[in-house]
A and B are shown apart, each in its own frame.
Chain A
Amino acid sequence: MSRFWIGGDVRRCEVVLAVWLVSLLWLVGCASASRDPEVLQVGNGAEPAALDPHLVSGVSEHRILSALFEGLAAMDPATLEPEPAAAVRWEVSPDGLVYRFYLDPEGRWSDGTPVTAGDFVYAWRRMLSPALGSEYAYMLHCLAGARAFNKGQTADFSTVGARALSDTVLEVRLEHPTPYFLKMQHHFAWYPVKATAVEAAGTIDDRNNPWARPGTLVSNGPFRLVEWQPNDQIRVERNPYYRRAGSVRLSGIVFYPVDNQQTEERLFRAGLLDLTSTVPRHKIPVYRQRMPDRLQSHPYLGTYFYRFNVTRPPLDDPRVRRALAMALDRQEMAERVLKGGETPADRLVPDGLADYLPPAGIPFDPEGARRLLAEAGYPDGRGLRPLDLLFNTSEAHRLIAEAAQRMWQERLGVRVTLRNQDWKVYLASMDALDYDIARSAWIADVPDAVNFLECFLTGGGNNRTGWSSAAYDRLIWEAYREADPVHRSALLAEAEALLLEEAPIVPVYFYRWTFLMQPAVHGLIPNPLGFIRWADLWLERKEHTR
């Protein structure tokens, strides 16, 4: 019996083995199939929910859309100042309320037809259509009359401050002076869409209009959509009709929606990705040591902070909140806990905004914190109930929460219990103010301090602390209407000082834009908004690097 296994037909075994080896070699051959060296391979995080600029909200969608479309103005990544894009120039009225844009007459859609001022008006009408329910429509509320139209109070779009004076001249009237209006134009919320392309596939305000797909998506940017294999890849190629097609050096880009950071890093290591969306935290020190030229880490306009629920005692007492804030050693948090090069934050608004002079931050002062806590009636934390610290499931959030828990316990005698929840449960808990302290973050989509500060307006959807201050609201609203940049900056700084004094939040650190990039990639200019101007990029691949 035991001879059965080897006693069979030896020759047959050999044949089977040979076939197996040959097929293995064939498979291995497939693995090293070559690819177009002029095509950039990009890891892009989550699968995009859609490619319709009016229905998306995420970073991964923004990345792809910024390759496909362009707004009236682009943003210089080095200075964050607006520069001509679909519009070659513009005029602003002295009161800052009326903008007149002159479109590039060379502007073409990817189907070869000209981009007109009417296309922008159409796009904004669609964006603001109440039935579309666009989550980013509020970005357009700075247009005169846009809020009323978006809320369905009027169905007449001519009441909104956007008018095509001719095919190439667009006039925009604003509700109030908006100093960052031009800077917003690089955001997908403002991109034009082509009416005939949208309406060939459905109605203007149907969320499920499937126009934004290969074959039907028409765009005006440096690249055009070729292929979208959901959860696999999105391929774009140079748009031959782009107004500056000659200056685009990449022949195409493939975006891979690799949502798993480890997988993305492995793909990068194998040379299959040129750019990643992020780096697994534990890999940062490894790259820093072994391949520092591949690791990119730059300041980013994002702040990680803790919210305090001010509707619950004892956190309704500003002294308790301020004491907790002052006892948090952000330096230690960044250097010893996070170790990813993050900048400790003592303020909400990150550095890197040219026209903003920030106020003094929350100091790290354990002595002062103890005094404040004693003043509030809780010397050395006596009499204070345990506070719960809510965060959504993530290794980094847990590390930070554990460090904060230790710091508050050691320095103030405040007991903190950790509570982690799945993302959506955590969001629901925050909205319902069912927490004491909650981990949070804010990433700017416009490089302006007000983008951070307006979150804490009374009753705002992103306030989520229950905090309300009439003085704060007044300062923000004054800043909205202020045309003078210096005075506006002062108003905002005053508002931030008030916010930090009352401490409904405690900032922890400022984000960094950290990703991996192959040395073959050139032309990427790091910027605190973390956007990439794909048209500027080029590749210099060495032979046989694959």
Chain B
Amino acid sequence: MPQLSRRSFLQSAGAGLFVLGASAGRDLWAQNPTQTVLTGNHFDLQIGEAPFNFTGNKRIGTVVNGQIPGPLLRWREGETVTLRVSNRLAARSSIHWHGMILPADMDGVPGLSFAGIPSGGDYLYRFKVNQHGTYWYHAHSRFQEQTGLYGPIVIERRGGERFPTERDYVVMLSDWTDLDPERIFSVLKKHSDYYNFGRRTARDLLADVRKKGWSQTLADRRMWGEMRMNPTDILDVSGYAYTYLMNGITPTGNWTGVFSHGEKVRLRFINGSSMSFFDVRIPGLKLTVVATDGVDVEPVSVDEFRIGAAETYDVIVEPKDDRAYTIFAQATDRSGYARGTLTPSPGLAAEIPPLDPRPLLTMGDMGHGDHGSSDAAPMDHSRMDHGQMNHAPAASAKVEHPSTERTPLIDMQVDQPNIGLDDPGPGLRNNGRRVLTYADLHTVGGPIDRRAPGRDIQLHLTGHMERFVWSFNGQKFSEAEPLKFRYGERLRITLVNDSMMTHPIHLHGMWSELEDASGNFQVRKHTVNVQPAQKLSYAVTADAMGRWAYHCHLLYHMEAGMFREVHVESGEGVAQQGANGAHS
């Protein structure tokens, strides 16, 4: 075990545990003076600034009640909560309750829900909690989420947990940076590959030649060169800029959760990061996934799962051995990891596994049919065998691109996107572990609305890697009209990813009920990852009046334009909108 440096001691000293419960639901809150759990119906939250030292450098973070992450809010299903949020920042601020179904003026998006919380002012949020599970809150103002304004929410199920456990921990993942996020954003606009220190080098070229021969290697390089795309573009901002945190604690700080022999432990994973996807596993333990985005699913046992920005996954583990286990959450570009420990007695630690090899995107990820040409092609073979592909109605249907995609600010279009939900994604295919996919997730209790969608809206996820411009249908937020939903309607949103990045797409105010490739209800989520060159659909019931945000939850993608307003309104004005959301 590595010796604790003074630095890592300081890191762990400032951090604590989100312990939700132990020994048959007994509350054991606030075991640590700095990391608190708030319960009840009335909450006073103060947004402010505080000094932090995660990396050896002192920086100012944006905090709620002095903490990063902010305090765990614990609510009860069926109760009404009142939250007075005051803003002690010099700038306007906001808090959005991610995944909560609530009135539009309680949603916390400045400009759409309310005017924001002015400097020195406050806002009173008040809404009835009609759901249960694991959620989170975060700022919806510029880069305040990146600098620390996020925290977990756990809502107790009315009548007790469907899958009761003896222990219950929040595991909130995030990406801390010592850099000014404005600087990160402007650097991405100038040199979008700035943070990529995993590019293919001359050595990789020689290694490929040895392995595959000159002609295949050059053919591969030629295809990427023709597209002017880089197969190592997995995350825009990497571990070069980020220190990955687990419950606000660095890997050396080692967040620790304690269990007793024979206990079931529920881990509520929340990805509260701004720009990072994580692949999570606990070597030696099977993870039984029981909920995602707050919604219970039929339990499924896996070795590993990928969690996109803003997603949540509840997993249950049953440690059998009297030893420590490492919770390992590696960034999907393998540039770093968050890490913690489950242990029968504090102070123990387990081996930290090495980072997996850096993934390379394949031609399949670019929507090119020629899947055999690149390194990690097996995905497609495994897919072909899968039953889901067989009764997919649109296995190889060509998609139409909206005319607004005729812009210089996109760099690729996918004519025949990949369908099906059973691809674990770049870097996880055929890794020898059982990896969760959306095809494994089945919501307990069916959809909230069994009506067939009355209409389809197709939106393309578009962007330009080099210019760092992101959009829907080739239109940035500032260039697009709001999407109009008719109050009460059930509609289908089909997303086609015309880019090489995975985008976690979040619709505020309404659930996204993901369908399989045949249109059957699969899983209810608030944030849906769309893989490169993938097409997927979800049904939405527009039962929430008002103006809502709809966006990619990669913060810098959102700021660069990958954002739309959704306007749910009664009456006419909705009908004239075309199938791609444009006014006809």
Q: Do A and B bind each other?
A: no
| Interfacial residues, chain A to chain B (CB-CB below 8 A) | none
| Interfacial residues, chain B to chain A (CB-CB below 8 A) | none
